[in-house]
Every structure is written in structure tokens, then in C-alpha cells.
Amino acid sequence: METTIEKLTSKDFASDQEVRWCPGCGDYSILKQVQTVLPDLGRPKEEFVFISGIGCSSRFPYYMDTFGMHSIHGRATAIATGLKATRPELSVWIITGDGDSMSIGGNHFIHMLRRNPDVNVLLFNNQIYGLTKGQYSPTSEQGKVTKSTPMGSVDYPFNPIALALGADATFVARTLDRDPKHQQAVIKRGYEHKGTSMVEIYQNCNVFNDGAFEVYTEKGSKKENILLMENGKPLIFGANDDKGIMLDGFKPIIVNLADVSANDLWIHDETDLVKATILSRFYDDPTHPDHKPRPFGVFYVNSNKNTFDELFNNQMDAAMAKGLGDLDKLIAGNETWVVN
Amino acid sequence: MSSSVDKELESVVIRFAGDSGDGMQLTGTQFTNAAALFGNDLATFPDFPAEIRAPIGTLAGVSGFQIHFGSTKINTPGDMSDVLVVMNVAALKANLKGLVKGGVIIANSDGFDSKNMRLANVPEDQNPLTDGSLAEYDLKVIDVTKITRAALADSGLGTKEIDRCKNMFVLGLIYWMYHRSMDSSIEFIKSKFKKNEAVMTANLKVLQAGWSYGETTEMFANRYTVAPAKMNAGVYRSIMGNQAAALGLVSASVKSGLPLFYGTYPITPASDILHELSRHKNFNIKTFQAEDEIAAICSSIGASFGGNLAITGSSGPGIALKGEAIGLATMLELPLVIVNVQRAGPSTGLPTKTEQADLMQAYFGRNGECPVVIVAAQSPVDCFNMAYEACRIALEHMIPVFFLSDGYIANGSEPWLFPQTKDLQDIKVEFAPERGNNDDKFMPYLRDEKLSRPWALPGTKGLEHRIGGLEKQNVTGNISYDPNNHEQMVLLRQEKVDRVADYIPLQTMDNGPETGDLLILGWGGTYGALKTATAILRGEGLNVSHAHLRYINPFPKNLGEILKGFKTVVVPELNNGQLVKIIRDKYFIDAIPYNKIQGLPFMSTEVVNKIKEILA
Ligand SMILES: Cc1ncc(C[n+]2csc(CCOP(=O)(O)OP(=O)(O)O)c2C)c(N)n1
Ligand code: SF4
Ligand SMILES: [Mg+2]
């Protein structure tokens, strides 16, 4: 018998709950893109599960008409690991913030990445604690003046992409709230990846950290500051697509396309961990001597690592191959004696 | 041939003590098996240092194993030992005070040389084997090391390997002393060392040497027989508490038809549950060693959401980390069993020592009003029953349940008249059925007569819903900040716990009538000591009864009635007074606390004396 999955629309994925983010918040765009992508994935709605931690971003599951759990701060990754281990056929998504995943949930975040369950992480990075009203976060730039750091923060920030690569993540990508098409494409690729897909999404918190990613979204500056990575294509950027990146040994250098042919540029190879690592470390501080445009798109894909849920359940299948054990035998153990 | 005379004894307590590396735990468990197979009733108490290889020869490194076996009902590993086997001077120093006056000491003289004396901080001129200080005991000095080495001179093994066989000499000798068959140990050695024949042969040879030593020397005037105990008829096995707990969990999984997921992080004394469960994947048992206890419980919550029988296990420090997630499970109203094998605290405390000081933690150790069901095992065997009960209640009531055990019963062992699985109480689980487009909207917090909500698994058509830690409206499960709704939900969650009382057995008396002068009200691992003490007190004509709680939240419905029947209620606990506070608060009675907080179990004589003091 042929089973036809009724074609769903983005509306089917919207719950009846009123969306309560601040007007203008970048979270709206992400919600919209996810609701746009899901109907295209060809799966029945009941197979999707969204699990979040705590934060503005983590309210996300309430707005999705799928299965969902709004859990506790930083632990969505651990909950998702347990769910995916036991129900590998489900499509499990993790919604987390920069504080949720990099501060309180940092431990679970790296351990999930090393285990590589087949789940999708959407990391809403607004470089601030939104829900608690504006303290600096582990991705805030050093010197950040916030309510909790009137003289500027002294902590050095985490770079989520570099952290994920360091934790042996198998899919690492970056996109941003203001580019719906790019976002949809990256989210879809993350879904298609077998293993944990870690998608960092630059998300503007217009209340507590407005304009944090302005240079990547404003017309005047974005072309000079964004490097769009496409697999197999040369790394080109600039207001007039006039600049490129070359590798001098392991050192990336910016070249003018007037001087260098596009064929001699760095050709993006998503499967190259060393190059992905170099890309993850492009600095965007204009005063930094190594200043480079910030890469967006897929940094790295490793399709050769087994997923946690596969390995976990392979063991179960092997152990269960001969059927369920005999409980009475197990309880009796190896040595018994009879009392008359 | 020895001219020893046979004597019949009702029960004996033997304590094996030596360096952690001396293999005393193995010796003890081997003898335990033999005694069990012979048909004695018994109880054991392993007592080991926290360090895996504590400094050799020191007091800190002493590892002990006590076994109490007899032809009568045995409730505890015994207050004092009748026989003390010591492999070195540190072991003697650490254990002599626990030996009855006139008791037998079997001492390995090699462990009393100047080096060992120094390590144990005993002055050179005070060697207890020679200075007369042990005159009140029946001292047997044997150079176990020398005999072992001589027996294995031709074995081709190195000195280190040879010395590792010393414990087998002791075992053989004790087998001889108590007329025990060595067959089970011979089988054990053969299977354990089947890949290393030289070591196998060596162990067998030294075991035999121990036996022959008793047989041929004139050192022992007596051999002893301890007849089989008169126990209920049936098939028995020997079991340790943690093992029993694991089997209880597996049984609940099989009986409920649900796969089991155990998310945990290693910690003494709970780890053996993980070890045991991880060997039974063929029962659809999934174990997950998480990165910490928070991830452990959270992975279990994920598994519970997915429809597995979800368990998380730890000891006090780990339970502290799980607190927030237990609150989440309470809000989600999903089934979850939280195992706490208690150890002495606070903080790291005494990791290998026992205590009952996490009761308040289980009752109240979370933010907000967060009641959970609590059950507690009273003996190694009872770990099976109560672990099973914890699962049954969690699944049938959609609620988190604490299962409390402790280091004493977790590592202790006793004979078990194990049940047939067909006789175990059924566990009924129902998942919410799928819904069509024309059905009403699914209501995730619609409640049944137990006040439990439907278990709606992801993947089920038409049941899409969101749950979370935010307060939710009853029935719909939508987020709600309504003040009255919050109060209603807090009360509902409490009532849900309270209603479990309708689904658990009434409290019974363990000994004595339901009214009288004094009730000993215990809970958890103190059962054996309190049982023995009560029998002694009643034997002396005192009007004392004993009831032991296994369902602690909610209490059995008739507990208040029972308490009213006694002039005095005494609550002995291995903590600074926890159950007693709850009893006083709930039943308005002037219950008397009796506390011991030494990381050690009660001795029955202590309890007897205390109760007499109270009655005086
Ligand atoms: C255990 C715990 N500690 C602290 C908090 C308070 N808290 C809630 S959200 C949050 C930070 C959220 O930041 P982020 O993850 O970046 O999410 P955003 O709100 O920016 O989307 C904090 C500190 C909490 N809910 N739980
Ligand atoms: S505080 Fe910031 S992140 Fe939170 S909803 Fe408002 S704009 Fe969005
Ligand atoms: Mg944030």
C-alpha cells in the first residue's frame, strides 16, 4: 500500500499560542524559516520534536505545533540525547541560546557533539542574556558594558564554531536572522546531515544588544564583512566581489582579484577540518592585524562518523538478536539451593 | 591427623581483615557462597576503604568483610565477631575492638614484621603477637606468607603472584574449621583463571594447603558445625542489595513491557547498579553513562518522554546535582525513578560508609513545592521489591519516585527466596492513542482518578503538544501565570502524591502487637538490627513492638492509627533525626529520636540498651 503524506504548509507548524518575543526580535525570523523548511522535509508532523533550554530563544517550542519540551537551563542537549537514543526514528531539534549552550550547558554541549547523535542544534547567538534582561554572555565581546559589567566585561568570549570543531562536531555552520534564504538553506542542510548538526544563527536582540551583527546585515558594510562559503567555490567577497582569500601555507591572506585569478584562490572544501579550523578563526575586529571577513555557510561536514544513536542501538540489536532474555533465569542466577 | 573435637554452634560471626590488596572481599564472598549453599541463613557486611589501593600496611588501607551465618534466622552481619582473621598488624589494630572477649584470632605473622609495625604506627616493642596483650583471646599465629611461598616454590610464579594466593590459604583453613565443602570455591577458581592455568593451579594448591594445615597441625582443638537454618521451603540464591535493585528494575521493565533506560554517572556506592544493568542489554536494558549527574537525569527524562521506563541513579552528591531536573520531571508529570544509594555526607563525606541522611533531601531537596513519592528498601533482598515498586508507582501514576537504598544494604548480601516472575504484581502502562483530524484537541494535562495525565509519545499522530518547566494550566497544559491556577496545580501535584497511598499496602508490624508500651519505628537499612533488638527485648518480657517503613511518602494510610497505640514511639536512624521530624510534624506525637552518625550500622545491643534506658 502506498502511504501518501499529506503536504503540510508552514501554517501547520504554528501552534495556537501567541508569540511573545519583543517586537523586532531576530527570533521571529528564525521561527518563520523553520516553519518554512519543515513542510519541505516530507515527514509527518508528529515525528518532529523540539527541545529547548531556558532563555528567550528557548520559548521557541511553544510556538511550534510539534512535540516539544521547554526544559531547564542548559540541559536540552542532554534531554535530546536520551530521547534520540531511545527513539532514533524521531527528528529531534535542539533550540538553545548562547548562554544556554555555552555557559550553563557548556558541558553537555561539547559532550553531545563528541557523541554525535543525529539531532539538529539551532544556536541563537545574540551575544547577550536576553531573558534575564541584558547581562553579558560567554559570546559577548570583551569589554562589553552591560548591567552586570558597568566597567566592561573582562572575560574573553567563546567562538562557538571553533568550540564545536574542537569538540569534534560533524556539521558546523553559521547563518544569520536577517538572511531568510541563507538560513533556510543552512537549516535544511543541517537536517540532512546524519549526525549532530550545529548551526549558529546570529540573532539580533534589539532590546539589550541591538546592532551586534549590524556590519553583516547593513547594506553599506555587509559585502565587505561577509564571506559566503560555498563548497567547491573560491572564497570571494567585497563590495564588488573584488577580493578573495588565498592560503599562504596555513596563513590566510586577502588578495585583490585584479592581481590574482579566481582559480588560484582558496577553494572551499567542507570536508577539510584543518581549513575549517582556519576559517573558524577569521577575526573580524577591524583593528586586529589579521582582520578578515566573517564566514557564513557550512564550515565543516564529516559524514564518516557513526552517530551515537546508531552505535547505541547497534549494541542493543546485537544483544537482543536472540530475543528477550529469560527473566526467571536471570533472577535465579548461577547458583541456587533448595530448602525443603 | 588432627585430634580436634567437633562442636555445634547456632551461629558464628567471622571477620576477615587485611590490606586492600590482600583479597579479603573475595575470601569473604567465597565463604559466604559456601555457607549459603550449605543452607545457613546469613548476612554480610563488606567494609572497605575509599581508596582503591590505600597505602599498604596502614590503618587507612584495612579492608574488612564480616559474615554472620547460622542455623537460626540471621538479621544482621553481627555486632561483634567471634573469629577475626587478620593478615597484618593494621588489620588487628583496626578490628580488635569488634572481637568478642575470648574470640579466636587467626593472625598472619608475616604481617607483624617491623615494617608492618611501623606502617601501622605500632611501637617495635609492642608486637601484639608476643607482648601478651592478646592473652584474653584464643590466638593462632600462622606464617601464611611463608607456607604459601613454600607450597608454590615450584609453581614457576613470581613472588608477587605467589603472595596473591595467601587469601586462599585462609579460606581453606576456615573451610576446614567449619566443615565446609570447598567445591564452590574450586569451581570458582577454575572458571576465574581458566585462561591462566599456572595461577589456577596455584590458587587451588594453596586453598588445599589451608585445609590441610587445619587437618594436620595440632593448633586447633575444635572444629565447628553450624547446621542449616530452618528457612521457608523453596529455591534460594545469594544476593547483594545493588544487584537485587538492578534485578528489580529489570523485572519492572519486563513486566511493564517497556524498554528500560538507565542514565547515570559513576559514584560509590551506586555504580554497581550500572555495572549490573549494563550486562543485561538482552532484556532491552539501555544504559547511558553521561558526562555528569545532571545530564544523567536529563537523558532519562528524554527517554521517559520517549516512552521508556526511565531510571537515574546516584548517591547523595549526585542527587544534589539532579535537584533541578527532579523539579522538571515533577512539572512534566512523567514517570521517572531516582535511585539514591545513600552514603555518609555531607559533600564527599565518607564515600564507602553508610548513612540515612538523605531522607530530607528526597523529601524537600528542591526549589518550590515539589513533592515526590519515596520508597526505601530495608534489606539487600528488599532492594528488589522496592526498586520494583518504585517503577510500578512511577509508571502507573506518571510521577517521579525516589528509591532509597544505602551503602550497607547495597553491599551486604543475604539468601533470597526469589520470586517467580509470574507472581510479581502487574504493571499496567497505557500510552495515549493517536487522534484523527476530527477529534477534539489533545489535552496533555487531563487527569484520571489517580490524577495522572496521559503519556503521549512523540511520533503519535495528533498528539503534538508542548510540555515544560513553566507553570501550566491544568488540562490544557498551556503556560499560565494565573495565581489561582498555580495554587491549584501545586495542590494537585501534592494530592497526586498523597493518592498513591490508595495503591500501596498498609503498614504491618514486624514484631509485637499493634499497641503497647513502646514502638520502634524504623526505615531503610536499619531493619536487621532493629529486628534483632526487638526480639531480644521481647524475649526479656518487655512490651516492645517494631514496625519498619518502606513507603515513606506517602506513608501507609494506617500509620497514624498504629502510632496512637503506643505510649512511646522511638525512631532510630543513622542520621541526626530526619524521619522523626516528619513523624512529629505529621502525627503530632512526641516521637523520640535515637541517632547514630558514625558511618556504621546500628549494633543490636546498642539499640537494646537504648530502648531499656528509655523504658526505665
Ligand atoms: C539554573 C538557572 N540559572 C539561571 C537562570 C536564569 N536565566 C534564564 S535564561 C538565562 C540566560 C539566557 O541567555 P541565552 O541562553 O543567551 O538566551 P537568550 O535569552 O539570550 O535567548 C539565565 C541566566 C535559570 N533560568 N536557571
Ligand atoms: S529580550 Fe532580546 S532576545 Fe529576548 S525577546 Fe526581546 S529582543 Fe528578543
Ligand atoms: Mg543569548
Report how far apart, in Å, the C-alpha atoms of A262 and of each of A237, A243, A265, A266 are. Answer: 11, 9, 5, 9
Closest Cβ opposite residue A339 in set B233, B238, B290? B233
A179 lines ligand 1 (CB under 6 A): no
- B59 to chain A, any CB pair closer than 8 A? The answer is no
Q: How many helices (H) and strands (E) does chain B have?
A: 20, 22
**Encoded amino acid at B540, one letter:** E
The chain B residue lying nearest A86, using CA atoms, is: B303
| Ligand 2, atom 8, residue with closest C-alpha | A25
Answer whether residue B1 shows pLDDT above 70: no
Identify the pLDDT of residue A289. 76
Distance from the Cα of B478 to chain A's closest Cα (Å) equals 8
DSSP B332-388: HT--EEEEEEE-B-STT-BTTS---TTHHHHHH-SSSS---EEEE--STTHHHHHHH
Contact criterion met (CB < 8 Å) for B261 and A82: yes
Query: Which chain B residues have a beta carbon less than 8 Å from that of A5?
Result: none
Q: What SS3 class is residue B74?
A: coil
Query: Which chain B residues have a beta carbon less than 8 Å from that of A65?
Result: 464
Query: Which chain A residues have a beta carbon less than 8 Å from that of B287?
Result: none
Task: Give the mean pLDDT of chain A.
Answer: 95
Instruction: Give the pLDDT band of residue B4 (cuts 50, 70, 90).
Output: confident
Which residues lie at CB < 5 A from ion ligand 3?
Answer: A 97-98, 126
Please write the tens of the pLDDT for every residue from B347-363: 999 999 999 999 999 99
Please write the tens of the pLDDT for every residue from B422-443: 999 999 999 999 999 899 999 9
Please write the tens of the pLDDT for every residue from B35-82: 999 999 999 999 887 777 778 889 989 999 999 999 999 999 999 999
DSSP B101-118: EEEEEEEEGGGGSHHHHH
Beta partners for B593? B571
**H or E element that contains B538:** helix B527-539
Identify the pLDDT of residue A1. 44
Percent share of chain B, pLDDT over 70 = 100
- Domain range list for chain A: 10-212+306-311
Q: How far is the CA of A129 from the centre of ligand 1 (A)?
A: 6
Answer whether residue A288 shows pLDDT above 90: no
Query: Which chain A residues have a beta carbon less than 8 Å from that of B36?
Result: 335, 337
- B581 to chain A, any CB pair closer than 8 A? The answer is no
Which numeric CATH code is attached to A10-212+306-311? 3.40.50.970
Q: Is B435 exposed, middle or buried (0-12, 13-18, 19+ CB in 10 A)?
A: middle
Identify the pLDDT of residue A275. 97
| Ligand 1, atom 2, residue with closest C-alpha | A73
Chain A to chain B Cβ contacts (< 8 Å): 198
Instruction: Give the pLDDT band of residue B221 (cuts 50, 70, 90).
Output: confident
Q: What phi-psi label fits residue A118: left (phi over 0), alpha (psi between -120 and 50 degrees) or beta? A: beta
Q: How many helices (H) and strands (E) does chain A have?
A: 11, 12
Ligand 1 pocket mutation, candidates A25, A73, A102, criterion most atoms within 8 A of CB: A73
DSSP B114-149: HHHHHHTT--GGG-TTTSSTTTTSEEEEE-HHHHHH
Contact criterion met (CB < 8 Å) for B466 and A332: no
Structural domains in chain B?
Answer: 5-226 (3.40.920.10), 237-423 (3.40.50.970), 516-615 (3.40.50.920)
Q: What angle do CA A124, A129, A135 make, to 5 degrees?
A: 150
Q: In what order do the strands lie in the sheet with B592-595?
A: B544-549, B516-523, B566-573, B592-595
Identify the pLDDT of residue B52. 72
For ligand 2, what atom is nearest to the CA of residue A206? 7
Q: Tell me the whole-structure pTM to 2 decimals.
A: 0.95
Task: Give the mean pLDDT of chain B.
Answer: 96
Q: What mean pLDDT do residues B178-183 have?
A: 94
Tell me if A123 sits within 8 A of A98, measured CB to CB.
Answer: yes
A60 lines ligand 2 (CB under 6 A): no
Q: Measured between alpha carbons, how far is A323 from A199 in angstroms, rounded to an integer?
A: 40
Answer whether residue A4 shows pLDDT above 60: no
The verdict on ipTM greater than 0.85 is yes
A19 lines ligand 2 (CB under 6 A): no
Among residues B157, B231, B182, the alpha carbon closest in space to that of A338 is found at: B231
The chain A residue lying nearest B262, using CA atoms, is: A82
Report how far apart, in Å, the C-alpha atoms of B375 and of each of B273, B414, B554 are. Answer: 17, 21, 9
Of A163-177, A278-292, B10-24, B126-140, the one with minimum mean pLDDT is A278-292
Please write the tens of the pLDDT for every residue from B508-565: 999 999 999 999 999 999 999 999 999 999 999 999 999 999 999 999 999 999 999 9
Distance from the Cα of B291 to chain A's closest Cα (Å) equals 7
- Select the residue from A100, A313, A335 to test the B interface by mutation, using most B Cβ atoms within 10 A: A335
Q: How far is the CA of A125 from the centre of ligand 2 (A)?
A: 11
Q: How far is the CA of A55 from the centre of ligand 1 (A)?
A: 5
Q: Which three cell numbers stand for residue B228?
A: 542449616
Please write the tens of the pLDDT for every residue from A176-235: 999 999 999 999 999 999 999 999 999 999 999 999 999 999 999 999 999 999 999 999
Report how far apart, in Å, the C-alpha atoms of A24 and of each of A97, A177, A214, A258, A268 are. Answer: 17, 11, 14, 41, 34
Answer whether residue B233 shows pLDDT above 70: yes
- Where are the extended beta strands (E) located within B187-278? 222-226, 234-240, 260-264
Identify the pLDDT of residue A7. 87
Q: Measured between alpha carbons, how far is B43 from A200 in angstroms, rounded to an integer?
A: 58
Of B2-6, B121-125, B131-135, B569-573, the one with minimum mean pLDDT is B2-6
Q: What SS3 class is residue A335?
A: coil
Q: Measured between alpha carbons, how far is B563 from B583 in angstroms, rounded to an integer?
A: 9
Q: How far is the CA of B274 from the centre of ligand 2 (A)?
A: 43
Contact criterion met (CB < 8 Å) for B302 and A79: yes
Ligand nearest to the CA of A26: 2
Tell me if A215 sits within 8 A of A221, measured CB to CB.
Answer: yes
A124 lines ligand 1 (CB under 6 A): yes
Query: Which chain A residues have a beta carbon less than 8 Å from that of B459?
Result: 46-47, 67, 87, 89-90
Q: How far is the CA of B303 from the centre of ligand 3 (A)?
A: 28
Identify the pLDDT of residue A3. 54
Q: What SS3 class is residue B458?
A: coil
Answer whether residue B614 shows pLDDT above 70: yes
Identify the pLDDT of residue A273. 98
Please write the tens of the pLDDT for every residue from B278-336: 999 999 999 999 999 999 999 999 999 999 999 999 999 999 999 999 999 999 999 99
Residues 163-222 of B with CB under 8 A from A: 184
Q: Measured between alpha carbons, how far is B104 from B323 in angstroms, rounded to an integer?
A: 49
The more confidently predicted of residues A1 and B346 is B346
Q: Measured between alpha carbons, how far is B197 from B175 in angstroms, rounded to an integer?
A: 23
Residues 292-331 of A with CB under 8 A from B: 312, 315-316, 319-320, 322, 324-325, 327-328, 330-331
